[in-house]
Amino acid sequence: MQKRIISYFITIITALTFVLSGCGEKAENIQINAAETDKDISKEADKSFNTSDITEATGKPQEGLNTNTDNTDKDTDKVTDQDGVEEPLNSTCFKIEDISYSELFETVKNKCLDNINRDAPTREDAIQLSVLLMSYEIFPEVMESGTESAENSDNENRVPYIIDETRNILDSYLQHMEKDEIQGTEEAENFILVAADLAYIYKKYDKSYAEKCLKTAETLWKNVRNDIADSIKFTALDAAKLYRVTAKKEYRTYLSEYFNTGSYLDEYDDVEFLIETTYLNSRVEVDKNICELLMKKLMQAAEKISNEVRSSIYMTAFEKQTDLEKILNDGMIMSFVDYVISNHEYDMILENYLHYLLGRNPEGVVYLDDVSDAKIVFMLSKILGKGYSY
């Protein structure tokens, strides 16, 4: 009986061993077959996948793939570009630079001055110069600290570069006037704006020259005052500039009549902005009620911009290339209001605007490569003003 039981167990163990060995062989066979299948698939993929097809379809090699083009060094994994410079294969080369606001300020300022017509003042030239001179008035420590100022102010009174250069431009205009009569009301108004601005600023450097500028401007203003059907607003700007220099009643009366028309309630343009900020920044007697209304308008405009930027991923109030003019206008408003109330949030908005112009925009376009505008100088003057270190 005992022998039968032992024989029975031996039989069972033998059967299990046979079964298990058979499964092992099958499992091993499955693994071998799977490996062979993978090799076959890989071979087929290598045959069907040709990188030249991607290059032909897209017009450029697929990133991350070695296409073995003629200009590739297989040993060094480098590629020679069209200028003969070796670069790492499959890499994207771009330049990272530290952008100095001070250097940018000097570059844009000098571009603005270089673009001014030296023969006769155009409307745009007069506005550009007026904005540059306002930058000097409000932020003199910035405008006087540039490298150009130090190099070019070799006169006795150490006239800042921007002021000295504006005088050279105005002298060119005066020579033009001596040779030919002023051509039309617009040209006269443009000259008045530049001459009145310089008369106001230059008196501390050369009083006699400032008086010459003022006399010329006042003479021209009397001639154009009765011929202003198409340029009431610009004549009001000339009156604002002349009033702060002379404090004469006739200019104040003209300005009061202009403000009484309610024109200042319109949206800002370059001329309206200069009229209102000149009046607000005057040291002569002004109408406090008008100043209150003008300041309220500026504050509301700044707050509107502040609210608009919060919904933008670029923290700007614009998203399209066509909004470039809005960038500059908004920047002027924010800079002036920030000068008045020193708001940290407005500081950040101004920086975001500059970053947008420098390439942080949907198109990745560096607008400052092609755009030189005195409004950018004004924005940079605010950022570089007292209390900021960039």
Q: Checking DSSP bridges between strand 86-88 and strand 72-73, what pairing results, if any?
A: unpaired
pLDDT at 84 > cutoff 80: no
pLDDT at 309 > cutoff 60: yes
pLDDT at 43 > cutoff 50: no
pLDDT at 127 > cutoff 80: yes
pLDDT at 194 > cutoff 60: yes
Confidence of residue 213 (pLDDT cuts 50, 70, 90): very high
Share of residues in the chain with pLDDT > 90 (%): 38
375 compared with 16, residue with greater pLDDT: 375
Strongest mean pLDDT among 25-34, 138-147, 241-250: 241-250
Which pLDDT does position 95 carry in this prediction? 47
Strongest mean pLDDT among 33-42, 229-238, 320-329: 229-238
Could you read off the pLDDT of 57-68 as tens digits, one per residue?
444 444 443 444
Could you read off the pLDDT of 322-358 as tens digits, one per residue?
577 888 999 999 999 999 998 888 998 888 888 888 8
Which helix (DSSP H) or strand (DSSP E) does residue 290 occupy?
helix 288-309
CA 316 to chain centre: 11
Of 12-16, 163-167, 198-202, the one with minimum mean pLDDT is 12-16
Compute the mean pLDDT over every residue in the chain, rounded to the nearest whole number.
Answer: 75
d(CA 89, CA 80): 9
Assigned token pair, 123 = 């409307």
328 Cβ contact list (under 8 Å, min separation 6):
373, 375, 376
46 compared with 326, residue with greater pLDDT: 326
Which pLDDT does position 237 carry in this prediction? 95
d(CA 25, CA 31): 10
Q: Give the three-class secondary structure for 127.
A: helix
List the domains of the chain with CATH numbers: 102-286 (1.50.10.10), 307-383 (no CATH)
What is the average per-residue pLDDT within 201-209? 93
277 Cβ contact list (under 8 Å, min separation 6):
134, 336
What is the average per-residue pLDDT within 130-138? 95
Confidence of residue 100 (pLDDT cuts 50, 70, 90): confident
Rg (CA), the chain: 37
This prediction has a pTM of 0.70
Of 11-15, 243-247, 266-270, 282-286, the one with minimum mean pLDDT is 11-15
DSSP string, 322-352: GGHHHHHHHHHHHHHHHHHH--HHHHHHHHH
Confidence of residue 284 (pLDDT cuts 50, 70, 90): very high
